Structure 1
Amino acid sequence: MEATERAQLDRYFGRIATTFAPQQRPAGLLVTHLLTGRASFVHAADQVTDLRAVLPKPKSIDPTTRREVEQTLAVDDLSRELFADPEAAVTYVETRAAGEDMVLLDVGGYFVPTLETLCERFTGRILGVVEDTENGHQRYAGMDKLPCPVVSVARSPLKEPEDFLVGQSVVFSTEALLRGRDDIMHGRPALVIGFGKLGSSIARLLHAKGVQVTVYDVDPVRKVQALSQGFTVAQDRDRAIRRAGVVLCATGALALRGEDFPLLRNGAFVATVTSSEDELELSGLPDCYTRSSAGEGITRYNATGHYFYLLNNGNAVNFLHGASVGPFIHLVQAEILASVRMLAREELEPGMHEVSAADRASIAETWLRYYNR
């Protein structure tokens, strides 16, 4: 990033932080993709909260960005296990902000397993959670009873440009990996599992490139949407998997179970839009499969008479090429900061919430002043 671009980004987030800074900053824990350009967002998050730790997602850390953030903030290692065990989760939060009001800024539902325990046993108060992703939204919404407010930006209109462009970047990275093996997408029937915002973006770009696309989704409404846009919609999931030369998983949940992998046709490529632990049940793969490198970012799974390729070890394939969606990502990051003010006001009941239309409009107007010159 050029110095002038970084300065513009810092000014933008400075304006957003000033607009949405709460009267009293709560302590905060921030789960985030620590990629190039994210330091400005992290520092803005530290302006609307008193950030006690940044927890970068393990598969999306840029070393230079991490070193910059570590100059002023604590950066801790993140894993699902950290917040899976109640004792470990409480101990960790206590070491960071004992006795204080705290907000949890999440990407992917990391706090779900022990959120109830944290709300009950933390010596301070958990004011609430901000969730960025559809996968995390589903995790929180699926809890029997939320013990605190959760503000989700996953389904915000401001996230739609990002979702569309993420879908485009997934196709770009998938195609780049295939071309690195002197292969192309054309001639390989594609199966897109999940026809939400990301899946529909992927399907449309593949279709525009002349690739034969089949869509599978468990939601009948999305099946109708896919049909109306001219896609073939699979009724038999197993048959669709057997026929596909490229499978792109975009459900935000479990897309392929262990028993699904042997159904893949020989030489099929599998890619996902999120982490392998969410989309793929690789632990359920039969023991007869061995793994070997088939090129940069490609793993070959082989068993007697059967083989397939997994891109980026099953993690979001677009992260291999920076996962860039341009300045549109700053819209939803700003909404995350606006969500903190909502929680700090302590006016929300336990449950799922969204940022107001007025606050979204304010964010969009600010973004346009900086990025639509």
Structure 2
Amino acid sequence: MESPEQARFDAYFRRITGEFPTTGDVSSLIITHLLPERPAFLSAMARTTVVAAVLPKPRSINPATLADIQHTYHVVDLSRETFADPTTALGFLEDTVAGRDVVLLDIGGYFAPSLYTLVAKFSGRIRGVVEDTENGHQRYEALGPLPCPVFSVARSPLKHCEDHLVGRSIVFSTEALVRTRGDILTGRAACVIGFGKVGRAIAQTLRADDLRVTVFDTDPVQRVLATSQGFRTTASRTEALHDAELVLCATGNSALRQRDFAALRNGAYVASVTSSEDELELGTLAGLYQRTTVSPQLTRYEMTGHYFYVLADGGAVNFTHGASVGTYIHLVQAEIIAATAALSCSDHAAGLHKVPPSERRTIASIWLDHFTG
């Protein structure tokens, strides 16, 4: 990233941290996509909290950015397994932030499986969690009564801009990887599984790119919405997959299980918008299908009489090209800072929370003035 760009981002975040200061001595553990624009956000977090550890999501690490931040922050490898086991998760916190007040910044509900244990047994105090994604929001929601406050920005109006642009970036990267086989998407039949905010953006982008789009969602309300926007819908996943030459999975919750892969038509391309363990049960295909690497981000699965292609090993396909959504990402990052400040400044009741609309308007005004004014 060029120095003037970095300076511009730093100036924006100084305005944000000035507007939403923290109080007290609060530490943070930050799960994050480690992309080129991320150091400015981490610097802002370091002005408002003690950044005890940065945990980059494994499939979204820019090597140059990693090398840069390792000089400043304690960087720790991230895996679902670390926080899936409450004893391991508690041990990590005790080794990293023992006895301190901590805010957990999450992307995808990593802390959810161990949250009750962390709140009950950690030697310090969990002030709360800030969750960035719809997938993570659902993981915390599924816990039932929460043991601490969880601020979610996943459904914020400020995130709608990012979700729309993520849909576009998914289609861009999908097309780019398909072209490595000398193939294109135009005129093909596509299936989008999941018609949430990102799935909707994907479907709209595919249609604008001259694909024939079918939508499947387990929620009939979402299927009605898709129908109202002119998309063909189906009542079953199998029917949706039957004729699709491209399948894009945007549920965050096991879009394709073992039996679903058998329903794919020969030569279909399969891509995901989130972690492979969340969308695709590829592990169940071991021993059934032969895997062949076609290119670094394209894998062919084949068994007798049947074959299909998986993009980016089933991970979020847009991260193969940086997953950039421009400066719109800084709207969500600013809201994360506001949520962190809220958790540091006062005690909140256990449960799901959101940043107040007045604070979102403040963030939007600063962003407009800084990046468009």
Does structure 2 conserve the Cα–Cα contact (< 8 Å) formed by 1:195 and 1:226?
A: yes
Within 1, Cα distance between the matches of 2:312 and 2:302?
A: 17
Within 2, Cα distance between the matches of 1:52 and 1:206?
A: 42
User: The residue matched to 1:366 in structure 2 has which SS?
Assistant: helix
TM-score by length of 2: 0.98
C-alpha root-mean-square deviation of aligned residues, in Å? 1.0
User: The residue matched to 2:181 in structure 1 has which SS?
Assistant: coil
The offset of 1:286, in angstroms, is 5.7
Q: Deviations over 1:36-93 (max 9, x none)?
A: 1111111111112111000000111111111221111100010001111122111110
Aligned to 1:238: 238
Alignment of 1:20 onto 2:7: no
Aligned to 1:147: 147
What letter matches 2:241 in structure 1?
A: I
Does structure 1 conserve the Cα–Cα contact (< 8 Å) formed by 2:191 and 2:246?
A: yes
What letter matches 2:16 in structure 1?
A: I
The offset of 1:347, in angstroms, is 3.1
Aligned to 1:8: 8
Does structure 2 conserve the Cα–Cα contact (< 8 Å) formed by 1:39 and 1:69?
A: yes
Alignment of 1:306 onto 2:294: no
Alignment of 1:127 onto 2:131: no
Aligned to 1:290: 290
TM-aligned CA distance change 1:125 to 1:20, over 3 Å: same
What letter matches 1:31 in structure 2?
A: I
TM-score by length of 1: 0.98
Identify the range of structure 1 (250-259 vs 102-111) with the bigger mean alpha-carbon deviation. 250-259
The offset of 1:266, in angstroms, is 0.6
Identify the range of structure 1 (52-61 vs 275-284) with the bigger mean alpha-carbon deviation. 275-284
The offset of 1:178, in angstroms, is 1.2
Within 2, Cα distance between the matches of 1:46 and 1:158?
A: 23
Percent identity among equivalent residues?
55
The offset of 1:180, in angstroms, is 1.9
User: The residue matched to 1:309 in structure 2 has which SS?
Assistant: strand
The offset of 1:144, in angstroms, is 2.6
Aligned to 1:65: 65
Within 2, Cα distance between the matches of 1:33 and 1:192?
A: 24
Identify the range of structure 1 (315-324 vs 340-349) with the bigger mean alpha-carbon deviation. 340-349
Does structure 2 conserve the Cα–Cα contact (< 8 Å) formed by 1:259 and 1:285?
A: no
Within 2, Cα distance between the matches of 1:314 and 1:188?
A: 21
Does structure 1 conserve the Cα–Cα contact (< 8 Å) formed by 2:233 and 2:240?
A: no
Q: Deviations over 1:137-186 (max 9, x none)?
A: 00000003210000000000000000000000000111111122111112
Divergent runs of 4+, >6 A: none
Identify the range of structure 1 (280-289 vs 347-356) with the bigger mean alpha-carbon deviation. 280-289
Within 2, Cα distance between the matches of 1:192 and 1:67?
A: 37
The offset of 1:237, in angstroms, is 1.7
Identify the range of structure 1 (184-193 vs 306-315) with the bigger mean alpha-carbon deviation. 184-193
Aligned to 1:106: 106
Aligned to 1:78: 78
Identify the range of structure 1 (180-189 vs 260-269) with the bigger mean alpha-carbon deviation. 180-189
What letter matches 2:312 in structure 1?
A: N
Unaligned runs of 5+ in 2: none
Does structure 1 conserve the Cα–Cα contact (< 8 Å) formed by 2:170 and 2:273?
A: yes
What letter matches 1:79 in structure 2?
A: S
What letter matches 2:173 in structure 1?
A: S
Aligned to 1:319: 319
Matches within 5 A, 1:149-168: 149-168=149-168
The offset of 1:328, in angstroms, is 0.2
What letter matches 2:347 in structure 1?
A: E
